[in-house]
């Protein structure tokens, strides 16, 4: 079973495996499997959309299923394989009230009373979304790190910077809580699409260009669906000594 120490050791890109988020697969009595998520600093993550899609792809490949359900801290979610081979996951309904995100005080989550006029959205973890003229020009190490631990977010926050390319097309970069700069954030892409629609910038179905690739987000009545490609990179076995050292 994963511990904070083991998660930190595995996340070390020099002496471990290296990751942004770790997805731990467990058995579940209520679904096909259960998932726990860990950040590379050893803290827990409430949701990880792209990891959910990747694990769903792995399980569907092993079982021959085209649809799976799984339990997370967010609740029971579902994923399915699309006709073109991509994987879609329903990340659940967005949390739009200030105390659900959560925020430190009652606030309008569409327009937070903070410099830069960001929005807040909960997707099982908190997100602070800034809309900027050019997401590529943002100083992520400075601006992302400064907002991650802002007192307005008592549980810290993921920080997204997005620019509008078209009425249903966004460019997004992200600083993730507990991980720093990452190439993509599935829950962050969902939060950004929700925030963009709430501000009247896009429709409910949005294509997002991230540093790590492209995702399609569709905010439906039953939740926010995220669709994208997956790829198995490698398989490995952790040594007993490594696990024992960091248990």
Q: Write out the catalytic residue numbers.
A: 48, 185
Number of Cβ within 10 Å of residue 154's Cβ equals: 13
**CB neighbour burial string for 193-217, b if at least 16 within 10 angstroms, e if fewer:** bbbbbbeebbeeebbbbbeeeebbb
């Amino acid at each position: 079973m994963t511990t904070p120490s083991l998660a930190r050791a595995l996340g070390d890109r020099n002496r471990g495996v290296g990751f942004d988020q770790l997805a731990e697969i467990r058995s579940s009595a209520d679904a096909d499997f259960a998932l726990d998520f860990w950040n590379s600093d050893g803290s827990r993550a409430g949701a990880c959309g792209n990891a959910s899609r990747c694990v769903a792809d792995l399980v569907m490949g092993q079982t021959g299923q085209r649809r799976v359900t799984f339990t997370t801290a967010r609740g029971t979610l579902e994923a399915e394989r699309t006709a073109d081979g991509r994987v879609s996951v329903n990340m659940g309904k967005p949390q739009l009230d200030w105390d659900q995100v959560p925020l430190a005080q009652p606030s309008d989550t569409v327009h937070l009373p903070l410099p830069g006029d960001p929005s807040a959205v909960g997707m099982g973890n908190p997100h602070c979304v800034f809309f900027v003229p050019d997401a590529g020009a943002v100083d992520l190490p400075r601006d992302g790190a400064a907002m991650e631990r802002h007192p307005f977010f008592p549980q810290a926050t993921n920080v997204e910077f997005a620019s509008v390319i078209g009425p249903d097309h966004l460019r997004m970069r992200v600083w993730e809580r507990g991980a720093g700069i990452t190439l993509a954030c599935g829950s962050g892409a969902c939060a950004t699409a929700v925030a963009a629609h709430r501000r009247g910038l896009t429709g409910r179905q949005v294509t997002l260009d991230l540093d790590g690739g492209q995702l399609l987000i569709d905010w439906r009545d039953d939740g926010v669906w995220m669709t994208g490609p997956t790829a198995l990179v490698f398989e490995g076995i952790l040594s007993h000594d490594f696990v024992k050292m960091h248990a």
